[in-house]
């Protein structure tokens, strides 16, 4: 009798929603210093990174998230040279950032070295740019790192896990103030800011925290199949450049699967219920 192995991911605490994935094999299971990490090979989504029981990225749909979190701010800024990614140990955001010719240095600040090592071994198509000479991998606390680097980065990307346990401090108020200080005078920051359908209060709080600090704050959306609700929010805080006012005719051709100049414009057009969530 053949037995099917299924991974059941509880989508959100106490929401009574779960997503199930049929698993071909478990490639790695490890308790790191910070979290329970697994890499599995799923029938539909291929290899997946799972942290504390939550799917972080899969080889099949990662391109949506990584392209959108990187190209929206990098095509909004006219000349991004130095970029910081907080979290994002899988390296996908770095891979997209380094497609931009203007970028001279991209720093990945990830707290859990085991995640970086595992992704290099099992998710090479996502982590492939971590060995690029323009990339510096710093293992340590992102909150502390941001505090210690004032006026240094053109773009800061917060590519964090959900706002529970180790990532809680990466959402909102004080951290966003420190990000503002770490950015250059015309810097831009972007963060993944959860699902408006299931976590409207989180989306609202994060958006308002950013809005109280940055002169220009915008929410944009992308469709990511393995994230709760499938429709995901990102928040941009910018000192000078409005991401909705980018001249998309000047955006050069780039090797992407989701992001296009048209999508850059369209992703800021919000459904009514999401506008209501953020009070617009």
Whole-angstrom Cα distance, residue 128 to residue 120? 7
Active-site residue, 159 included: yes
Angle between helices 200-211 and 173-182 (to 10 degrees): 40
Dihedral sign, CA of 12, 194, 53, 144?
A: negative
Q: Answer yes or no: is 159 a known binding residue.
A: yes
Which DSSP string do the residues of 61-85 spell out, in sequence order?
Answer: THHHHHHHHHHHHHHHSSS--EEEE
Closest CA to 149 of 104, 92, 83: 83
Candidates 45, 53, 46; CA nearest to 7 is 53
CB 86 within 8 A of CB 145: yes
Q: How many alpha carbons lie under 13 Å from residue 121 in its C-beta half-sphere? A: 11
End-to-end CA separation in angstroms for the chain: 56
Which strand (E) or helix (H) includes residue 21? strand 18-31
Q: Is 66 annotated as a binding residue?
A: yes
H or E element that contains 184: strand 183-192
Residues pairing with 216 in the sheet: 238
Catalytic residue among 112, 159, 178, 209: 159
Q: Is 242 marked within a binding site?
A: no
The closest alpha carbon to 56, from 161, 126, 153, 159, belongs to 161
Q: Is 276 annotated as a binding residue?
A: no
Query: Which DSSP symbol is given to 108?
Result: E
127 has binding-site annotation? no
Q: Is 162 annotated as contributing to ligand binding?
A: yes
Please tell me whether 209 is known to bind a ligand.
no
Residues marked as binding? Answer: 35, 66, 90, 110, 141-142, 159-162
Enumerate the active-site residues: 159
Binding positions for spermidine are 66, 90, 159-162
């Amino acid at each position: 009798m053949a037995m099917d192995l299924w991974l059941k991911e509880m989508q959100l605490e106490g929401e009574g929603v779960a997503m199930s994935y049929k698993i071909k094999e478990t490639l790695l299971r490890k308790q790191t210093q910070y979290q329970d990490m697994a890499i599995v090979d799923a029938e539909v989504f291929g290899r997946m990174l799972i942290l504390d029981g939550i799917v972080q990225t899969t080889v099949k749909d990662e391109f949506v998230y990584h392209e959108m979190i990187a190209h929206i701010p990098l095509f909004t800024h006219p000349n991004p040279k130095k970029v910081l990614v907080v979290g994002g140990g899988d390296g996908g955001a770095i891979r997209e950032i380094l497609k931009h010719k203007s970028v001279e240095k991209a720093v990945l600040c990830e707290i859990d070295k085991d995640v970086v090592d595992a992704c290099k071994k099992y998710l090479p198509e996502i982590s492939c740019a971590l060995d690029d000479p323009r990339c510096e991998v710093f293992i340590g606390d992102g909150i502390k790192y941001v505090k210690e680097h004032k006026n240094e980065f053109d773009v800061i990307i917060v590519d964090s896990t959900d706002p529970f346990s180790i990532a809680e401090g990466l959402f909102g108020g004080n951290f966003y103030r420190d990000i503002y200080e770490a950015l250059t005078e015309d810097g831009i920051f972007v963060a993944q800011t959860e699902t408006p359908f299931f976590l409207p209060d989180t989306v609202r709080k994060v958006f308002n925290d950013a809005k109280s600090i940055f002169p220009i704050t915008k929410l944009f959306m992308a469709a990511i199949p393995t994230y709760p609700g499938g429709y995901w929010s990102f928040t941009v805080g910018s000192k000078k450049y409005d991401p909705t006012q980018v001249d998309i005719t000047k955006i050069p051709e780039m090797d992407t699967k989701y992001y296009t100049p048209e999508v850059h414009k369209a992703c800021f057009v919000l459904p009514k219920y999401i506008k209501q969530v953020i009070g617009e």
